[in-house]
Amino acid sequence: MADYSEYTDKKVSLQLTDNTKLEGTVEAGSTVGVVFKEKGSRGTKLIEAGQIAAIELQAEPAKKLKQRTLPIVTEGKVREHLIERHGFKVSEIEALTEDAAKSFHDGLDHSDLGHKHRAKTEAELAIEQAEADAADEG
């Protein structure tokens, strides 16, 4: 007897014994069958194990990658940033001074990396200042 529990919460293609083909999501699976939500429908239905001729996982579409925007790296954090965000080896970066690391980082072309940097806007700076002032008063 087949156990369909491994298909729970997975997108699948089902071939039923009557040659019907279905695509959708297995909401729950067991040896009894699957609770199936067909693509484009709102409800679910029980498809018993005896009705299932074949089941196949559908490939998940690749997630679209996008570049993140990070604030300008603050003084004292550039070496750490080069290791954590750019993947340099500790042995390559630890000998650099912070100024040398900053010059090196500023020379990197960020146009096609996983992140880019932008300075905070006037509004963001004003909010930070207001929060700092409020904390000083309290």
Does 131 share its domain with 97? yes
Domain membership flag for residue 129? yes
User: Which residues are within 8 A (CB) of 46 and not within 5 positions of it... i.e. 6 or more apart?
Assistant: 32, 33, 34, 35, 36
The boundaries of the domain holding residue 82 are 68-137
Residue 76 region, left (φ>0) first, then alpha (ψ -120 to 50), else beta? left
Phi, psi of 74 (to 5 degrees): -80, 155
Residues 74 and 126 placed together within one structural domain of the fold: yes
Alpha-carbon distance of 75 to 92, in angstroms, equals: 19
Q: pLDDT tens per residue, the chain (138 residues)?
A: 789 999 999 999 999 999 999 999 999 999 999 999 999 999 999 999 999 999 999 988 888 999 999 989 988 999 999 999 999 999 999 999 999 999 999 999 999 999 999 888 888 888 988 988 888 876
User: Does residue 50 sit in the same domain as residue 82?
Assistant: no
What is the pTM (predicted TM-score) of this model? Answer: 0.52
Say if CB 78 and CB 98 are below 8 A apart: yes
